[in-house]
């Protein structure tokens, strides 16, 4: 048997949306189980996200520190953001986030990995890109606000990030998945063997 996730959709007999927010909502589905019973499943409906593991020529990763209110912590993360427009091209969204959050652009883009962040309670899908050939972006810096106004930027070695992940000191899922996937890719067929930046993404189909 191939170890591969596959599409499947169980019958839904009813759906309500008890909460609708600015970017996400909560949906309640009545789902028919394999034994014929019906169960209620509540989950967050999410537009999807992109994240960027930006690796410079010195082998350091661009990270930022940002306050995350739900967990009451300042977390070290990699640049990331929402797919605000339905069908938005994820590469263009990732390039925008790298520019807005770090004022950096990149020459080489690959898909590092695709993940569902919390599939038991949220339909968020994230595409994590690897960006290389970094340089300072031209023009004025993007004007940040709210939590991003307090954001700190740093460049940290991959080894130090891995140490922090395994020590339980770094918790952001995109950072954790990204640095571990980077390490696995290096140990395998190499970074140039990663999928192209425009590889299909069934979880969030997009226009060219």
**Local structure of residue 10 (DSSP, 8 states):** -
107 flagged as catalytic: no
Q: How far apart are CA 81 and CA 67, in angstroms?
A: 15
Q: Which residue has the tokens 């954001």?
A: 151
Q: What single DSSP character describes residue 27?
A: E
Q: Which is it for the CA torsion 77, 53, 121, 19, positive or negative? A: positive
Other CB atoms within 10 Å distance of the CB of residue 14: 10
Helix or strand run (H / E) with residue 96: helix 90-102
CA separation for the pair 105, 131 (Å, rounded): 9
The encoded tokens of residue 138 equal 């031209």
> Catalytic: which of 148, 152, 160, 169?
148
53 beta partners: 130
Spatial contact of 78 and 115, defined as CB atoms under 8 Å apart: no
As annotated, the active-site residues are: 148
């Amino acid at each position: 048997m191939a170890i591969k996730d596959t599409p499947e959709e169980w019958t839904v007999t009813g759906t309500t949306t008890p909460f609708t927010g600015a970017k996400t909502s909560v949906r309640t589905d009545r789902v028919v189980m394999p034994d014929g019973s019906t169960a209620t499943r509540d989950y967050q409906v999410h537009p999807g996200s992109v994240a960027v593991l930006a690796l410079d020529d010195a082998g350091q990763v661009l990270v930022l520190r940002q306050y995350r209110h739900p967990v009451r912590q300042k977390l070290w993360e990699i640049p990331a953001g929402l797919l605000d427009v339905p069908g938005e091209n994820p590469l263009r969204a990732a390039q925008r986030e790298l520019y807005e959050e770090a004022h950096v652009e990149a020459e080489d883009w690959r898909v590092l990995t695709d993940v569902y962040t919390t599939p038991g309670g949220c339909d968020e899908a994230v595409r994590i890109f690897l960006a290389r050939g970094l340089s300072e972006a031209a023009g004025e810096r993007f004007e940040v606000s709210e939590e991003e106004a307090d954001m700190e930027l740093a460049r940290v070695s991959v080894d130090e990030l891995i140490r922090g992940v395994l020590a339980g000191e770094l918790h952001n899922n995109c950072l954790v998945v990204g640095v571990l996937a980077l390490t696995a890719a290096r140990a395998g067929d190499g970074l140039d063997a990663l999928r192209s930046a425009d590889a299909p993404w069934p979880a969030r189909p997009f226009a060219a």
